Structure 1
Amino acid sequence: MGELIENRYALEELLGRGGFGEVWQAEDGRVGRRVAVKIGYPQTPEETRRFEREASLAGNLAHPNIATVHDFGRVERAGREAVFLVMELLRGRSLAEVLAEGVPPLADALEWAGRIADALGAAHCAGIVHRDVKPANVMVTDSGVVKVLDFGIAKAGGGSGGGTDLTGTGMLIGSFPYMAPERWTGGADGSPVDGRADLYALGCVLMELLTGARPFAAVELHGLLAQHLTAEPPAPSSLRAGIPAALDCLVRDLLAKDPRDRPADAAEVSRRLADAARAVAAEGPAVAVSYPPPPAYAPSVHTAADGAVRMMLDRRLTQLLEDSPADVVDRLSLLVDDLTEELGVQDPLTVRAAYHRAVRVRRQSATDLERILPRMVRVLGLEHPDTITARATCVGEAAAFGPGDGRRHEEELRELIAQAGRVFGEHGLVTLTARYHLASAMHRGSRDRDGQWDARTRERAESERAWLGPLLPDLEWALDADSPVLLDVRRRLAHDAWLVGDCAGAAQLYWRLFPDLAELAEYGDPEVAHRVLRSIGEAGDPVSALAHMDLLLHRLPFLSGTQRLAQEVSATRSEFRRAVRARRRADGSGGPGGGLSRLFGR
């Protein structure tokens, strides 16, 4: 066993060494996973604070395009005080290394820039400005996933005006070729130093990805300062043929001297990059031929397995998926290893097995599916059922539950819904789930998804009904009664109906959700039970509601903090009793009647 850090992280292989310290591959003995451990030897308290800042800021960001930070601490090594940062283990190349080999294909440049924008958007939504966006701080992993690294000089809160980017010794921090004008001046001219400074740096990176050249070429510091503050950058199309005008415009906007003239946020940049990527793809090879093609895949293993081997491995995958044994994840991992050795990592069968493994470990490793998705698109194609399912899962959950504005995913979700409809049918589970995520995203917009339902307003309830309501009949026709998606939609729409005063609509849904009212009254959430019984009574069936009110009232004294609820339930019971007596006097039937709505004003 190698050196142990904190009696937990066993150092295995030195991955790199720099001026501040080392990066090691290690095994986390507590959870049994490979990690990267960054060990630094700070010379000043300021360097220690920078290390701690990277841990505290990046450690609170959960996004597929931001390197995950797991742990941080201090340790003594060989008599020296050291600090360490534990991160997810990434294998790949930085964009600086990619650019050292030449200009990447246009499609890759746009994809990478888009994912950087997504990562910055997540950081900005959390109130964090990176302040050191540059090619060396962006990695493209071996599986094609973009990761933004090094939040060591990031700043929480962003700052809305003054405040400099100077260290305690008066040194300006950051990477000068990518530094926004307001960061050079420390906001002295009144320009805010916020997330738009990161967008300026992204503009510099995008320029370099498109052309191989930085927007400003000065070497000396004073020359760079003058160019960033006063010079206009060249249009990318003037440096390389075939670049669309939309990208010239985007680079110009990102590199605007005044941050108020730049795109409003990273989400807008991501959308514009996606639009440009679609336009480039639509033009086809005519645009692509101006760029060097991506390097051909050169596996380190032989790929000439004969038909018998392929059939055997295919059969193993089919049987694992059908039987789903308790150790299916371990068996899929072994199968992926065997497929990689026999057929190569880019073989469709290898990709499919890796996909099915990623699906089954999503709760433990949320990034595995996203990491394999680019390979699925490349190898299996966009219309393959597994690719559609994986994209619908990743995009749908990001739209419905992820950071930022859920509506920014609308176009991609609509495209996925159309694809899923062609492959799985209009009532296929993938199609309906994508529609559900689209409705959730459009209702949520830029807000967080509703957590406590009682905090929702009537306006929010109307919005959700407008988006989810049309989906419910298709879900009820196609899905099992206990489908989580169907149950969630029914619950949300029932509560929405309650909030807007539609007692009949609420009662109809509540009956389906809670067919056993006695069980609900005795064992269910008491607030929900009261809401359900009141809705049923006000919708015209106070007899059924009254039959269970006593059960609910009987248990409330034994629950803490329910005094107010007990008073409300008691008042509701009294109202229903008066209504039943009045109806019986009016028609003598004693049965359910239809005129109760006028007795219950909301």
Structure 2
Amino acid sequence: MAETRLIQGRYRLLDLIGRGGMGEVWRGRDESLDRHVAVKCLKPLGPQQGDPGIGRVLRERFRREARVAASLQHRGITVVHDFGEDDGVLYLVMELLEGRNLSQLMDDGVQGPLAVPDVVEVTEQVAHALAYCHDQGIIHRDLKPANIMRLTDGTVKICDFGIARLGHDAGFTAKLTGTNIAMGTPHYMSPEQIGGESVDYRSDLYSLGCVLYEIATGAPPFDHGDAWAVLLGHRDTAPEPPRAKRPELPDFLEQIVLDLLAKSPDDRPGDARELAHRITAARGGTLAHPAPAARAPVPPAPPAELPDWTRGMTNGPKATGAVDLRAAVPLDAAAGLTGEWISRIDGRRTPDAGQARRTERSTAPPELLSVLATRHTAGLSLSRLGKWEEAVEVHRGVAAEREQALGAEHPDTLASRYEVAFTLSRTGRPADALREYEHVARGRELALGADHPDTLGARQEIAYVLGQLGRHFEAHDLYTAVLAGRERSPHLGPDHPDTLRCRHNLAYNLSRIGRLEEAHRTAGEVADARARVLGPLHPDTLVTRYEVAYALGRLGRWAEALQTYREVAEARGQALGADHPDTLAARYEAGISLGRLGHSADALALYRDLAADRARVHGPEHPETLRARHGIGVNLGRLGRWEEALEEAREVCAARVRALGPGHPDTQVSRREVAVGYGWLGRWDESLAEYRQVAEDRERALGPGHPDALAARQDEAQLLERLGRGAEAAEVYGRIAQRRGE
């Protein structure tokens, strides 16, 4: 779509900020009122849907739901300004929100839960918004982390109120998608929704309970491997109490979550307003916090089947692993609103292995296999676009249907299971990915042999996820074995790109287990080989040269590391562009090297330029922008400019609290920098308060025995000792020794 596209002669589309299954969201400008807005364009129906009546139904439903959404006026609900149709595309004009949804906030915490105060605040604000909507007779029906936004000023807003319901009629959805996959996300569906019963406002309360459970513990209440198990969990199984997964949660919050997750709507809180009052009372200290009452296990329901609409359903995206859609592949400017919705796909990785090799005779209908092959390819396309969560659900569905049609060990089934594992590993779920890869590797070894390229590929990915899980010594042994298999294979050999990728990963892993000289030597050999095979400016070549620089830094050879980082940054600028994230990352590491060499003035200048570029490309409160600004503060301190350093550190800390949350590791690093600045300026009481806050935050987030939490307590003790408060220092040192088991 061209950036100058004008909707209804009034709304000018400026840039794409989001893309999902229903359509796209653009940042736009209302030229009549001269204000920025968000414009949601629903994906148009193409002729392949086959039923011309569906378009009429969709338009009528859209108008009805848009009117409902526009009638809602509450600070906790996204404001809808306008809606209509332009050149066959339905559009909705909303207020432009500055913030991140709960899914993204959990990603910022490395797929972890939110801080407890944030969970309580979100609960209270969402409860008030739901109470208002339920008073209007409106039910959301699709409450999930991606539909709840926290703005930069702390306001929490529910998005897609009413519009999310467009795809929830099962028969209508099946006609629209042609895949027999019902829309909606099973992780947040109430038992009455699953049972196909009529729902009321209490269904929203159950969905809210699922959301709160996830942001409080890091996982949904029923986090099973397939959609059928999730649905049965909602219907038949009592959830594990949240404090069993996160003991620091307050009793009252656990009780509220469990009350919301009651199987029967009659056993849930009376309404959202009652829920809001409970939260408000608890925050004010007027609500007793009794230990949660033991709940008897919910007896299993009779072995009745779930509704027909659930058949073939996949899990759908959970909060963790959400993708920043602003980084999506740019659209074809000539396509326009009604053009193709998946564009510019590069050639990532292997095709569907089963399309090229059939080792079993199938009795499945050829038309079914053709549909599954098309869906497999669509899943690959989603991965290439960075839509990992959508990709994993497509591949899960295809894998399940291929297993039923072809068998568990058929190459096509294993190809789909491989893609499931690949996407899981890229969305922060390495343990789940490991199980899938191990299954694929066993099946391929039995069918193809241990040294077949497909078998080696699966085993190499096992090594990769072992590294993600911190099991670097196991990863090293497996990389070594896979490398030997690749080098002796007549189909691969030492210079094959897959062999070089394996050697690169081996070099990376060697540095993580402390074998730095070997890591440096191996990375250098791979970089030379990739330059010869792929070219000096190929992204893979530059990735390995980046690894060479990292190893040099670990070895203390900072001058060589600096030179290599600078060369990588320059080469990436030529090959990828000056504003590409990889180019900017190399510049950041060059700044680290300058600081290590004592060139603080040069490092300061570099970080000022980098922060300005990051802010222009990503925004002023993007984590990478704030990381560059942190470097500014550090080097101001190294230059003895402590007043400026303290001011920078305080601003970055405040921005990180807003963008990442108070418990995020980057926020804690900034808070420690604030403490250091206070200390250098002789403001000891303020310095001590900050050190203690860092220690408390780390203990809450990581546990009191975590090395980072202990290091923060060590800072506190050293400052107490410096202030002559020996008895207090000795007490803190004693607690540290006890937690270390000394």
Q: TM-score, normalised by structure 1?
A: 0.44
| Structure showing greater Rg | 1
